[in-house]
Amino acid sequence: MVGGGQLARMTHEAGIPLGIRFKLLSDTPQDSAAQVVSDVVIGDYRDLDTLRDFARGCDVITFDHEHVPTEHLRALEADGIPVRPGPEALVHAQDKGVMRAKLDAIGVPCPRHRIVADPEDVVRFAAELRGGGHEVPSGKGGGGRRAGGFPVVLKTVRGGYDGKGVWVVETPEEAAEPFRAGVPVLAEEKVDYVRELAACVVRSPHGQAVAYPVVESRQVNGVCDTVIAPAPGLDEALALQAEEMALRIAKELGVVGHLAVELFQTRDGRVLVNELAMRPHNSGHWTQDGAITSQFANHVRAVLDLPLGDPRPRAPWTVMVNVLGGDYPDMYSAYLHCMARDPKLKIHMYGKDVKPGRKVGHVNTYGDDLDDVLERARHAAGYLRGTITE
């Protein structure tokens, strides 16, 4: 597995019962997965020679992030190394422009969008979204007033995650910031949505695929905070549409392994694709304790072309809440309270140093009553972070 973060750590854990020998390419020995995997290579995934040396002797290569250069993955395939998901699939998770073009071509609904060249192009795009409108000139006299069609969402085509590389711009003046990095920028309409959903599926090389229940994903400051499985109150027909859409995307793009399709549920009763991730994903962490077969176990099965496991939930409701770092570094001293208060609580920590706002773990709770399950998960995550003290 290329990448030493918490996703690799939890994928390794899922492979242990199957006797899978796991080799890791990690940036540093302190990375989350490097702390627990026995066969660790420290190196730069952006260096082709390092990748080639790492891949020798591996039956298959997979990833815990999308950042390996596409041309390097093609070189590994040319060397005869199975790469899953392959570069022709993974590029759709690496490049938002490529992803949007492909989803348009196969008829998958997305927010209105296009690649923009400069701030003036953003203004033109915004006006097109709203069918025209008064354009407020930049500079003196603009005064930060909103132009026709704003706000607009701007995204760097490559490299963004957890809210990074994403801007919601309200005025032409604000549209200049994303272009300072010198990389292509994608402009999208700001969708009027009810909530964010995620449809997670897993697909194997021989075409077997399974779908997990569609979940609700709640974000705080651009970072996933809470996931509820299944999404409460979601119309059955819309849930089925989201699952079928995710399965179709996986097939059309040739995905092997876990695919998370992040969605907007709009106020007029539609679902639009927001992002794709071709790896285990935060929206699937609930499956560790809430599903018969976790996303991590099914990802391992898929990349090794083994029969996939049952994705059905074990309980009516499962809730995952991320544990973010705060001003309280010693989270382990909180275990006594959390475990005594809720013996059914499942705590998953990543071995990371605690820094404010950093994902350092998550908790899972499950049961028959959603309000109770939500309260238990939020209390545990808050107590571990130190924002709740009782």
pLDDT at 140 > cutoff 70: no
User: Could you give the 3-state DSSP secondary structure of residue 383?
Assistant: helix
pLDDT at 132 > cutoff 70: no
Q: What percent of the chain has pLDDT over 70?
A: 95
Query: What's the half-sphere exposure (Cβ side, CA atoms, 13 Å) at 134?
Result: 4
Helix ranges (H only) for 221-334 are 236-253, 287-290, 295-303
pLDDT at 329 > cutoff 80: no
CA pair distance 202, 182, nearest whole angstrom: 35
Domains defined along the chain, listed by start? 6-83 (3.40.50.20), 113-189 (3.30.1490.20), 191-314 (3.30.470.20), 316-390 (3.30.470.20)
User: Could you give the 3-state DSSP secondary structure of residue 144?
Assistant: coil
Residue-wise pLDDT for 331-377, tens only, equals 888 999 999 999 999 999 999 999 888 999 999 999 999 999 999 99
Which has the closest alpha carbon to 246: 216, 206, 275, 217? 275
Query: What's the half-sphere exposure (Cβ side, CA atoms, 13 Å) at 323?
Result: 33
pLDDT at 388 > cutoff 70: yes
Q: How many helices (H) and strands (E) does the chain have?
A: 11, 15
Q: Bridge-partner residues for 264, per DSSP?
A: 196, 272
**What confidence tier does 147 reach under pLDDT thresholds 50, 70, 90?**
low
pLDDT at residue 139, rounded to an integer:
38
Host H or E run for residue 169: strand 166-169
pLDDT at 160 > cutoff 80: no
CA pair distance 320, 364, nearest whole angstrom: 5
pLDDT at 159 > cutoff 80: no
What does 341-354 look like in DSSP terms, one character per residue?
H-TT-EEEE--PPP
User: Stretch 127-134: mean pLDDT, rounded?
Assistant: 69
Backbone angles phi, psi at 227, to 5 degrees: -125, 130
pLDDT at residue 130, rounded to an integer:
81
Residue-wise pLDDT for 233-276, tens only, equals 999 999 999 999 999 999 999 999 999 999 999 999 999 999 99
Q: What percent of the chain has pLDDT over 90?
A: 84
CB 167 within 8 A of CB 174: yes
Q: How far apart are the first and last CA of the chain?
A: 41
Cβ neighbours of 227 (radius 10 Å):
28
CB 125 within 8 A of CB 114: yes
CA pair distance 83, 74, nearest whole angstrom: 9
pLDDT at residue 297, rounded to an integer:
98
CA pair distance 226, 383, nearest whole angstrom: 15
pLDDT at residue 327, rounded to an integer:
77
**What confidence tier does 213 reach under pLDDT thresholds 50, 70, 90?**
very high
Task: Tell me how many degrees the CA angle 290-225-185 measures, rounded to the nearest 5.
Answer: 120
pLDDT at residue 47, rounded to an integer:
98
CA pair distance 33, 6, nearest whole angstrom: 6
Residue-wise pLDDT for 106-123, tens only, equals 999 999 999 999 999 999
**What confidence tier does 143 reach under pLDDT thresholds 50, 70, 90?**
very low
pLDDT at residue 37, rounded to an integer:
98
pLDDT at 34 > cutoff 60: yes
User: Stretch 318-329: mean pLDDT, rounded?
Assistant: 90
pLDDT at residue 135, rounded to an integer:
40
| Local structure of residue 149 (DSSP, 8 states) | T
114 to each of 93, 170, 387, how far by Cα in Å? Answer: 17, 18, 41
What does 306-367 look like in DSSP terms, one character per residue?
PPPPP--BSSSEEEEEEEE--S---GGGGHHHHHHH-TT-EEEE--PPP-TT-EEEEEEEEE
Residue-wise pLDDT for 163-198, tens only, equals 678 999 999 889 998 998 788 999 999 999 999 999
CA pair distance 278, 292, nearest whole angstrom: 21
pLDDT at 144 > cutoff 60: no
CA pair distance 306, 312, nearest whole angstrom: 18
Residue-wise pLDDT for 282-315, tens only, equals 999 999 999 999 999 999 999 999 999 999 999 9
Which has the closest alpha carbon to 349: 383, 326, 324? 324
User: Could you give the 3-state DSSP secondary structure of residue 58?
Assistant: coil
The token duo for 278 is 């071709």
